[in-house]
Chain A
């Protein structure tokens, strides 16, 4: 296998906004099936790394290699089609649409019928639409949301919205799932439940998961490997145990505590 064991390889990614360097020389490899956490204080550049992977920001320097292919600078909609799906820190659902419709959006890029066929509608389109709805419901059941399928997404409670967003990402049939602070805004109990849920979908859908978290305790429980960044620079990597005792990490987080106090 060699090189092919890597699903994602980030090579010296740098992102500059004008004079500000948000991320500097960030490299990281992720193997198939891993569950990796990326942590760091607020404003450390975590989301920027995700945005460089998904094509929202083309990196100033460096490469993103996904499954052996250089995807640097591809637009987001192409990156998704290759098999990288993401969620957002501040949940970005189509709030006026139902939970099911939100999931169906992700199936749309693989629709084969033309617009004309959809307007008529042709028998093939009707079959495709029915099939999409079935699979959408299956997915919602898999994440325990089947009874909320026809509710307006914006009207659902926060925790369920997060699950809809994950279901929507899963509907793109990803190989790699990027979760941006999935537990943000949740209490410790909800966060624990969510982590169990993430482990569950990872096994069910045979995924590689790369997740950002701000609160260290949350990732410690489920990620065997954790990377820490601060001020756009990678400062540590290792098992939860190693991270917990790493002086640089403690300093970075203490600094933030000090700032907050």
Chain B
């Protein structure tokens, strides 16, 4: 990275931090925008992880909704105030140890990380057998089945989840500082991972698994690594989502959540981290903008639009916004130069 690019990155991060600080301070004046940006950051975070396993490593998982569910519930159990715990688990008592304690706001980061770690542990449970034996659509189905099993368990383990009724009154700690902050940290990690020697191994596995193995890459361990990373991102995103909405039910993390994430990474370009981030925000904006269509005009219309959009992108625009490229300052420079030249040629 050249010196000027370093300065640009620094300025960008500074601007972002200022914007986040200002946005959180005036959140009550821009309710809609604030909401879109929070959701956008959370979707983008889960999508960044998702594209690491699906796009970069080429191992098709359909289970991120399950990992989000785990993160969401664990964060909820850590952060829900004691009095609220008593109200929610009225009929079935809350299981130990969560009936003993709750964390103050200062422990929020711990709760989020714990959600991520729980998701990583779950990713080991499903990944160790599945990534060793399965690939392609069979892997997709196995991870999908795992997510559905988690949903059934969440509906039935009343002592931990309060079943299908869900949990209300979760403190709404998530704001732009948390959501954008988590997104920034984990996006940095994902980009570094992709560009490192480990990332080269992951990309080699996507392109030719057999060749990668023949060059001494332990394919299984690297797939597992990517899977764990994606589970961590999903777990943290689930925790942020629960503390943004303030309620959680098993239905919040059903398969449609994975469908959203799939749309985001396909639209952004399978394998592009920048694409996942940009498309995450675009998705959240469209999603929230069409909310009125769903509530006031025709329920379900929003999903019809998204489904048609996904099919159209797959049929006619499979590269997505970024293909497998990443946003860099140089990329921006070249693009700007080309646009300028084009405009100049048009004018003269």
* Chain A contact residues, CB within 8 Å of chain B: 54, 56, 75-77, 80-81, 85-86, 88, 92-97, 101-102, 104-109, 111, 115, 118-121, 125, 128-129, 132, 168-169, 171-172
Contact = CB atoms under 8 A, between A and B. Distances in A.
B203 A94 contact: yes
Interface string B205-248: 00110111111111100000100000000000000000000000
Contacts of B211: 88, 92-94
A94 B214 contact: no
B135 interface: no
A106 B215 CA distance: 5
A98 to B, nearest CB: 10
A129 B215 contact: no
B203 A97 contact: yes
A196 B129 CA distance: 47
Nearest to A107: B197
The main secondary structure of chain A at its interface with chain B is: helix
A80 B216 contact: yes
A207 B46 CA distance: 48
Nearest to B221: A77
- 6 nearest A-B residue pairs (beta carbon): A109-B216, A118-B196, A80-B216, A94-B207, A92-B211, A119-B192
B198 interface: yes
A102 B214 CA distance: 12
A108 B192 contact: no
B215 A168 contact: yes
Interface in B15-60: none
B324 interface: yes
Contacts of B219: 77
Interface in B251-303: none
B134 interface: no
A5 B231 CA distance: 50
A109 B213 CA distance: 10
Contact of A115 (B200, B208, B215, B225): B225
B201 interface: yes
A48 to B, nearest CB: 15
Interface string B184-201: 000001001100111011
Given A94-B207, A95-B207, A96-B207, A119 B215 contact: no
19 contacts: A76-B213, A77-B214, A77-B217, A85-B215, A88-B214, A94-B204, A94-B211, A97-B200, A97-B204, A101-B200, A106-B215, A109-B216, A111-B197, A115-B196, A118-B193, A119-B189, A121-B192, A128-B197, A172-B216
Contacts, number: 94
B204 to A, nearest CB: 5
Interface string B65-77: 0000000000000
Most buried by B among A76, A93, A125: A76
Contact of B210 (A56, A102, A104): A56
A121 B225 CA distance: 17
A76 B210 CA distance: 9
Contacts of A172: 215-216
Contact of A96 (B193, B201, B216, B324): B324
A76 B197 contact: no
Contacts of B218: 77, 109
A151 B196 CA distance: 19
A105 B198 CA distance: 9
Contacts of B324: 96
A191 to B, nearest CB: 23
Contacts of B196: 115, 118-119, 121, 125, 129
Interface in B58-113: none
A119 B216 contact: no
A128 B217 CA distance: 17
